């Protein structure tokens, strides 16, 4: 929420030498002075603004920045969006949906290192088999094919904001700055949207980075799915002990993983839920927490509350021959998670009255902590660095503009914005949805010299999945109401279906879900009839 992917590619076999040489070429010549009279020209393939085919966009070398991306129109405003998650993609779609004068509709480029958007709240359904990868991870090419938004698959290397302008100056006087990609291409922009998101923080505990898997991207979900399949196959062949899965963190993500995996394993496995707090989902509405506790207590789950993980290490007596190499779309990793390769988690009490514990696990999932990707970017000029908080998020004002940079907006995990009680807004999909709406509108207002709107978060409620036929939904507009069980499950899927990026994708997924539901209903009916006939 990441392999959209359904398939795996070898780590090296699919890499083309030309792509690598072009990347190094751009880096080698960045900042060099060319003595030839004509500029050197290369071409980059990006997604078409009006159809699903690719088009060639010219890029000319710059004396200081290497290859320079050429926008199709030199007069219209230029908006560059970094990151294609909820904040970035939905900002682009919001800009596309607004009404513009012909000469003011901006050219929009969306940049992401992946080819696919990932609807992260539905990642758990991949493990339960409720959804297919294409349903929750459509390609940017398909989503943006009927819009004017261009998509570039690349990784952002650095940004260079320009500070020599005033907010009311026209684009012809000064641009907003430049973005350099890892391929060596530099993009000049008028308005920039930071929506790079965050990644799991695995450096909190010794051994976590080596032996634990995060669960925040589609690549993560693919690795967890492959690991579970291997464990299930090994157990089936050798009739070994129950599969042991340890989940560190019992917030929403940890509880949803525990419920999903325990339902999948049934009596073939045991799930440990480890949490430093003595409650699961401490910030959740009481109704959601109670529904989750009811489900977890009915499953093969052991909650170890009031503990923190001191370290993770390999279990003594393991054998390197049991390791299996698994390839994913982005990398090859060593999967040691089978019935013969175990890990040891050393737990220390975070509350009085508890004793230290040591547990073994075949698979460790890490759901605690995240870090913004903004600090990983480089900067040409130290004086132009963005104001970041201790979490690596950009400090923004209530219009979502980065402080000191009126042409840069930040949304989602990239933005540090506080609510009316001075608390940082949570890094949730709901917050990113709403911020994308305001960011798109405020860019429209900036281009049209209109007042910008202050962002106000409206909590619409909270939802969580608890298995293939169970969920908990607590809407904020009806006090004390919580929908759980099959009703909550249906309400959650409908709510997320409505939130999918485009009408076309919503229709495709809706038809797919209805078809699956009909097939499951027929199969259930046939099973009931068969049981009745045989029993009689």
**CA 45 to each of CA 145, 389, 455: distance values in angstroms, whole numbers, following the listed order:** 15, 36, 36
Written as six digits, the tokens of 328 are 């994913």
Residue 486 lies in a domain: no
Measured torsion, CA atoms of residues 288, 291, 296, 298, in degrees rounded to the nearest 10: 180
233 in a structural domain: no
Contacts of 457 (CB under 8 A, 6+ apart): 419, 425, 431, 434
Q: Residue 22 — pLDDT band, cuts 50, 70, 90?
A: very low
- Written in H, E and C, the secondary structure of 121-134 is HHCHHHHHCCCCHH
Q: Does position 126 have pLDDT exceeding 90, yes or no? A: yes
Task: Please give the model's pTM, rounded to 2 decimal places.
Answer: 0.82
Angle at 217 between CA 290 and CA 231, to 5 degrees: 80
Whether 288 shows a pLDDT value over 90: the answer reads: yes
Q: How many CB atoms lie within 10 A of CB 399?
A: 18
Does 263 map to a domain?
no
Looking at residue 419, what is its pLDDT? 86
**Separation of alpha carbons 133 and 234, rounded Å:** 25
Which range (139-143, 244-248, 259-263, 328-332) has the least confidence?
328-332
Least confident of 259-273, 332-346, 399-413, 427-441: 332-346
CA angle 161, 413, 182 (to 5 degrees): 50
Q: How far apart are CA 57 and CA 352, in angstroms?
A: 63
Per DSSP, 501 falls in state S
299 within a domain of the structure (yes/no): no
At 42-70, the pLDDT tens digits run 233 344 444 433 333 343 444 344 599 99
Where does residue 504 rank: exposed (0-12), middle (13-18), buried (19+ CB within 10 A)? Answer: middle
Q: Is the pLDDT of residue 278 over 90?
A: yes
Residues in CB range of 109: below 8 A, 6 or more apart: 46, 69, 78, 79, 80, 81, 149, 150, 151, 152, 187
Would you say 180 and 59 are in contact if contact means Cβ atoms under 8 Å apart? Answer: no
Q: What is the pLDDT of residue 376?
A: 86
The yes-or-no verdict on residue 328 having pLDDT over 70 is no
What would the two tokens of residue 99 be? 């009404």
The pLDDT of residue 269 is above 60: yes
| Nearest CA-CA partner of 524 in 493, 481, 486 | 486
CATH number at residue 441: 3.50.50.60
Flag whether pLDDT at 134 surpasses 80.
yes
54: Cα separation from own chain's centroid = 25
The pLDDT value recorded for residue 168 is 52
Q: What percent of the chain has pLDDT over 70?
A: 79
Name the 3-class secondary structure at 252. Answer: helix
Distance of CA 521 to the CA centre of its chain: 33
pLDDT tens for each residue of 355-397: 999 999 999 999 999 999 998 887 655 456 789 998 999 999 9
* E strand intervals along 15-128: 41-47, 54-62, 66-69, 78-82, 107-112
- Determine the average pLDDT of the residues in 266-273: 96
In a domain, 61, yes or no: no
- Mean pLDDT to the nearest integer, 118-145: 96
Which of 253, 311, 310, 249 shows the shortest CA–CA distance to 277?
A: 249
Q: What is the residue range of 410's domain?
A: 78-113+154-165+172-200+372-448
Mean pLDDT of 242-264: 97
pLDDT for 238 equals 78
Q: Give the chain's domain count.
A: 1
pLDDT digits (tens, 9 = 90+) for 400-456: 999 999 999 999 999 999 888 888 999 899 999 999 999 999 999 999 999 999 999
In a domain, 159, yes or no: yes
Instruction: Of 128-132, 165-169, 171-175, 381-385, give the lowest mean pLDDT range.
Output: 165-169
DSSP annotation of 90: H
pLDDT at 63: 39
Supply the DSSP symbol for 295. H
Is residue 487 a part of any domain in this protein? no
- Alpha-carbon distance of 450 to 452, in angstroms, equals 6
Residues near 352 by Cβ (< 8 Å), separated by ≥ 6? Answer: none
> At 209, which helix (H) or strand (E)?
helix 208-211
């Amino acid at each position: 929420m990441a392999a959209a992917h359904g398939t795996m590619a070898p780590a090296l076999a699919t890499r083309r030498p030309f792509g690598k040489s072009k990347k190094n070429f751009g880096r080698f010549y960045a900042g060099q002075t060319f003595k030839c009279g004509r500029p050197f020209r290369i071409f980059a393939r990006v997604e078409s603004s009006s159809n699903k085919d690719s088009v060639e966009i010219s890029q000319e070398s710059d004396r200081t920045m290497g290859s320079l991306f050429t926008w199709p129109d030199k007069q219209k405003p230029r908006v560059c969006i970094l990151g294609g998650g909820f904040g970035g993609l939905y900002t682009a779609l919001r800009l596309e949906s607004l009404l513009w004068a012909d000469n003011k509709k901006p050219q929009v480029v969306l940049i992401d290192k992946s080819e696919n958007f990932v609807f992260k709240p539905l990642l758990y359904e991949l493990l339960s088999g409720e959804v297919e990868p294409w349903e929750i991870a459509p390609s940017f090419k398909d989503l943006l094919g009927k819009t004017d938004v261009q998509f570039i698959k690349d990784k952002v290397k650095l940004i260079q904001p320009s500070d020599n302008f005033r907010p009311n100056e026209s684009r012809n006087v000064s641009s907003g700055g430049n973005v350099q990609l890892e391929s060596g291409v530099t993009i000049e922009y008028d308005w920039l949207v930071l929506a790079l998101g965050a990644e799991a923080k695995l450096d909190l505990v010794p051994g976590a980075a080596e032996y634990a898997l995060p669960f925040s991207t589609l690549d993560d979900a693919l690795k967890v799915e492959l690991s579970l399949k291997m464990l299930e196959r090994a157990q089936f062949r050798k009739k070994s002990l129950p599969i042991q899965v340890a989940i560190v963190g019992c917030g929403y993500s940890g509880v949803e993983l525990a419920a999903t995996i325990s339902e999948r394993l049934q009596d073939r496995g045991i799930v440990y839920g480890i949490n430093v707090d003595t409650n699961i989902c401490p910030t959740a509405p009481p109704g959601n927490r109670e529904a989750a506790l009811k489900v977890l207590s009915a499953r093969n789950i052991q909650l170890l509350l009031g503990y923190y993980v001191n370290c993770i290490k390999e279990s003594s007596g393991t054998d390197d021959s049991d390791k299996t190499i698994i390839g994913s779309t982005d990398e090859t990793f060593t999967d040691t998670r089978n019935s013969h390769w175990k890990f040891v988690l050393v737990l220390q009490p975070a509350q009085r009255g508890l004793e230290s514990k040591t547990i073994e696990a075949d698979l460790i999932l890490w759901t605690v902590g995240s870090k913004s990707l903004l600090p990983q970017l480089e900067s040409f000029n130290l004086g132009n660095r963005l104001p970041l908080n201790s979490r690596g998020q950009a400090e923004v004002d209530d219009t979502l503009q980065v402080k000191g940079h009126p042409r840069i907006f930040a949304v989602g995990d990239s933005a540090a914005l506080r609510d009316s009680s001075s608390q940082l807004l949570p890094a949730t999909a709901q917050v990113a949805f709403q911020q994308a709406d305001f960011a798109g509108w405020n860019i429209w207002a900036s281009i049209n010299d209109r007042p910008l709107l202050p962002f106000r978060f409206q909590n619409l409620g909270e939802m969580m999945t608890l298995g293939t036929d169970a969920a908990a939904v607590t809407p904020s507009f009806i006090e004390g109401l919580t929908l759980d069980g099959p009703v909550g499950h249906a309400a959650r899927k409908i709510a997320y279906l409505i939130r999918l990026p485009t009408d076309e994708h919503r229709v495709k997924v809706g038809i797919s879900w209805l078809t699956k539901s009909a097939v499951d209903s027929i199969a259930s009916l046939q099973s009931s009839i068969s049981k009745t006939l045989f029993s009689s």
